[in-house]
Amino acid sequence: MIPVADTLEQALAAIRPAVRQGKPYLVGTPPEAPIKLNQNESPWDLPEALKRELLEAFFALPFNRYPAEHPERLRRALAEYLDWTPEGVIVGNGSNELVFTVGLAVIDEGTPVVLPRPMFSLYEMIVRLHCGRLHAVAPRPDLHFDVEGLLEAMRRHRPALVVLTTPNNPTGLAMAPEDVEAVVAAAPGLVLIDEAYVEFADGVGARPLLDRYPHVLLLRTFSKAFGLAGLRLGYLVGHPDVVRELYKARIPFMVDRLAETVALTLLRHLDLVRERVAEIKAGVQWLYRELAALPGVEPIPSQANFVIFRTPLEPDVLLARLAKDGILIRNMSGYSELRGYVRMNAGRAEENRAFMVALKKALAGHETP
């Protein structure tokens, strides 16, 4: 009999080196807390009356039948929402799945990819998994993306893919429309513009660029403004000919019938979505003003549903003190450019007020971890 250690090593050797050398994307399971402000979620579930309406639809769904290979009803509804053609829309099981689809379709061994920093770490992970050649561009001192640096990186490396996130996670900063277009106009390949937080930003985002630049892809989600993080729905929009090629790299049956039904219902209740977005934006502005008024606290202006800031305390100490008061926020020091920063999303008004009370208490040192 072959020793178990030998067969295990044989099994592990079959896994690609790019995978074995990487790290899994793990958020971790946070402890339970009354006020959860650490994952950029909407603070509101759907209204009970709407959930009861959806419950009736849920009972009507045939669980023994596959969903459509691609959710055509939702695809058409999103096309109408965006004033675009349905053939230029892909719906996925969360926007992260669609990022993997783009990576699979575009990135081969040695494929050059230009990314600004800091940004959602999943993008770097996907480039490395596909053995692409990553060219990361450091931010300006104010944490905005270095547009000139991006343009120079594109001239030098001729990337097949450039990724922009605006408003950006993890900073909350948005790119000026003219800067986005400057990158798009100069890009020799595809430009993926991640707009997960676009509903919270000023302006209309990059949607107008689709009409003029067939190499632009927009990525959006139902997790943030629509409050459906638990159902995993995202969508990608681009020129129909490009989208047709991306479909070849996408696994079918990824969107279940219930998620599609809920999304279609919310697209018919856009007033509810807009009302909640307005409340979240007001909460972000209130938090920024309150944080900026505290001695030694440095918040960054945000056009997303969250704010990052620094305090005189080390992040782990601050998080521990807030957790004792039942409040969760997130340490952002894993990003080299954001050492010392923490992040919190806007909650309901009473949650935001409770956070500020707990923060002032933590900074005064009334409790020790």
From 253, 268, 283, the end of a domain falls on: 268
Residues 249 and 312 occupy one common structural domain? no
| 210 within some domain | yes
Residues 167 and 261 occupy one common structural domain? yes
For position 2, what pLDDT does the model report? 64
| 4 within some domain | no
Residues 281 and 155 occupy one common structural domain? no
Residues 295 and 255 occupy one common structural domain? no
pLDDT in tens, 285-308: 999 999 999 999 999 999 999 999
Cβ 238 vs Cβ 217: under 8 Å? yes
pLDDT in tens, 191-249: 999 999 999 998 889 999 999 999 999 999 999 999 999 999 999 999 999 999 999 99
Task: Determine the residue type at 208.
Answer: P
Residues 355 and 245 occupy one common structural domain? no
Q: What is the mean pLDDT of each run of 10 residues along the chain (369 residues)?
A: 73 85 70 86 91 86 84 95 97 93 96 96 93 96 97 98 97 97 98 97 92 98 94 96 95 88 94 96 98 97 97 96 95 95 97 97 70
Residues 151 and 185 occupy one common structural domain? yes
CATH, residue 170:
3.40.640.10
For position 62, what pLDDT does the model report? 87
From 268, 290, 308, the end of a domain falls on: 268
For position 13, what pLDDT does the model report? 86
Residues 78 and 168 occupy one common structural domain? yes
| 286 within some domain | yes
pTM comes to 0.93
Domain of residue 160: give its range: 59-268
CA-to-CA distance for 68 and 73, rounded, in angstroms? 9
Residues 108 and 152 occupy one common structural domain? yes
Task: Determine the residue type at 293.
Answer: A
Q: For the range 265-271, what are the long-range contacts, defined as Cβ-Cβ under 8 Å and sequence gap of 24 or more? A: 265/50, 265/53, 265/54, 265/57, 266/46, 266/222, 266/226, 266/228, 267/77, 267/78, 267/81, 269/50
| 63 within some domain | yes
| 76 within some domain | yes
Residue 112 gets which letter from DSSP? E
CATH, residue 297:
3.90.1150.10
Residues 157 and 230 occupy one common structural domain? yes
Total count of domains within the chain = 2
| 223 within some domain | yes
For position 369, what pLDDT does the model report? 43
CA-to-CA distance for 44 and 337, rounded, in angstroms? 31
Residues 120 and 168 occupy one common structural domain? yes
Residues 124 and 196 occupy one common structural domain? yes
Question: Which residues does 185 contact at the CB level (< 8 Å), separation at least 6?
Answer: 213
Residues 142 and 275 occupy one common structural domain? no
For position 367, what pLDDT does the model report? 46
For position 368, what pLDDT does the model report? 44
| 9 within some domain | no
From 230, 251, 268, the end of a domain falls on: 268
| 104 within some domain | yes
| ∠ Cα 140 223 197 (to 5°) | 30
Dihedral angle of Cα 113, 119, 121, 126, to the nearest 10 degrees: -20
